[in-house]
């Protein structure tokens, strides 16, 4: 199942995000050999400090098995900066109707072990469906996503092939990376749902997610009493927005 986490509810799910950063470290540093910064076994970059939108997959035990991160292309995002090599020096797309998805990954090790309750393919499709539906519901027409060739093949196999690519394939660590375009149409969502036989709602409510993760529920409740969203009690209205202020470019 999938949980959608952003600035409005992340105080409830800090430990899910913590597990997500660990999964990203295992995938992007250990497995793919990308030059990402790892601290205490967690992969966190400056875009994580910009309050992005996370889509996170959990298995029946409540363990994080997949994740992806979304940012608006009108503001700071990875293709405009970190991944600019993929675009061969060309300016990235900038549109109110396109979001960028990065750090798309699935815990293949956990899902390939004996007794896993779902498959890599199914977990990937669930994550994609939740991402496409979240984007569609937000009025987003297209996603530009930075992926490696393995993920590209997975997308193609799941009847979810990108309709085009931007820039060129560039070496990155042990593998390479490319930027693909996906539309968030009902047609595509239907195809992926059909491929993986996903007929029900894949996104959990906050309450259901807290139930699935007893630890999170405890932290969530504890946090609920003490956590105030940064800026909520600030006396300065609309200070240059939290997290964006110290980012060059």
Which residues contact other proteins by CB under 8 A? 6-8, 51-53, 70-76, 80, 87, 90-99, 134, 137-142, 163-164, 181, 183, 229-232, 234-235, 237-245, 247, 249
The first and second tokens of residue 164, run together, are: 């085009």
CB-wise, 197 or 238, nearer to other proteins?
238
Rounded CA-CA distance 215/213 in Å is 5
CB of 177 to other proteins, least distance (A): 18
CB of 241 to other proteins, least distance (A): 5
Question: Residues with Cβ < 8 Å from 204, sequence gap 6 or more?
Answer: 1, 2, 3, 58, 212
Closest CA to 21 of 8, 35, 36, 7: 36
CB-wise, 71 or 120, nearer to other proteins?
71
CB of 134 to other proteins, least distance (A): 7
CB-wise, 40 or 235, nearer to other proteins?
235
CB-wise, 112 or 234, nearer to other proteins?
234
HSE value, Cβ hemisphere, 13 Å, CA-based, for 162:
18
The first and second tokens of residue 80, run together, are: 């405009």
β-pairing, 38-39 vs 42-43, is antiparallel
The first and second tokens of residue 162, run together, are: 């990108």
CB of 245 to other proteins, least distance (A): 5
CB of 4 to other proteins, least distance (A): 8
CB of 227 to other proteins, least distance (A): 11
124: which strand partners? Answer: none
Rounded CA-CA distance 30/41 in Å is 10
CB-wise, 19 or 142, nearer to other proteins?
142
Q: CB under 8 Å, gap of 24 or more: what pairs does 36-44 form?
A: 42/18, 43/103
CB of 153 to other proteins, least distance (A): 20
CB-wise, 139 or 171, nearer to other proteins?
139
CB-wise, 30 or 164, nearer to other proteins?
164
* Sheet of 164-172, strand order: 2-5, 53-58, 64-72, 98-106, 142-147, 175-183, 164-172
């Amino acid at each position: 199942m999938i949980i959608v986490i952003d600035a409005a509810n992340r105080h409830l799910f800090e430990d899910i995000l913590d597990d997500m950063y660990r999964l990203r470290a295992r995938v992007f540093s250990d497995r793919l050999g990308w030059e990402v910064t790892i601290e205490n076994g967690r992969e966190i970059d400056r875009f994580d400090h910009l309050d992005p939108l996370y889509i996170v997959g959990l298995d029946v035990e409540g363990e994080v098995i997949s994740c992806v991160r979304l940012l608006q292309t009108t503001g700071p995002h990875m293709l405009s900066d970190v991944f600019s090599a993929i675009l061969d020096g060309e300016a990235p797309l900038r549109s109110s109707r396109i979001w960028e998805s990065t750090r798309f990954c699935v815990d293949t090790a956990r899902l390939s072990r004996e007794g896993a309750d779902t498959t890599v393919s199914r977990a990937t499709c669930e994550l994609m469906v939740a991402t496409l539906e979240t984007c569609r519901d937000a009025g987003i027409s297209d996603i530009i996503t930075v992926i490696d060739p393995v993920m590209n093949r997975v997308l193609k196999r799941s009847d979810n092939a990108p309709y085009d690519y931007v820039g060129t394939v560039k070496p990155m660590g042990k593998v390479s990376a490319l930027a693909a375009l996906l539309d968030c149409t009902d047609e595509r969502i239907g195809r992926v749902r059909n491929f993986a036989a996903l007929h029900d709602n894949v996104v959990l409510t906050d309450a259901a997610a807290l139930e699935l993760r007893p630890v999170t529920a405890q932290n969530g409740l504890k946090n609920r009493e003490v956590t105030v969203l940064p800026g909520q009690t600030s006396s300065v209205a609309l200070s240059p927005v939290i997290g964006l202020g110290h980012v060059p470019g």
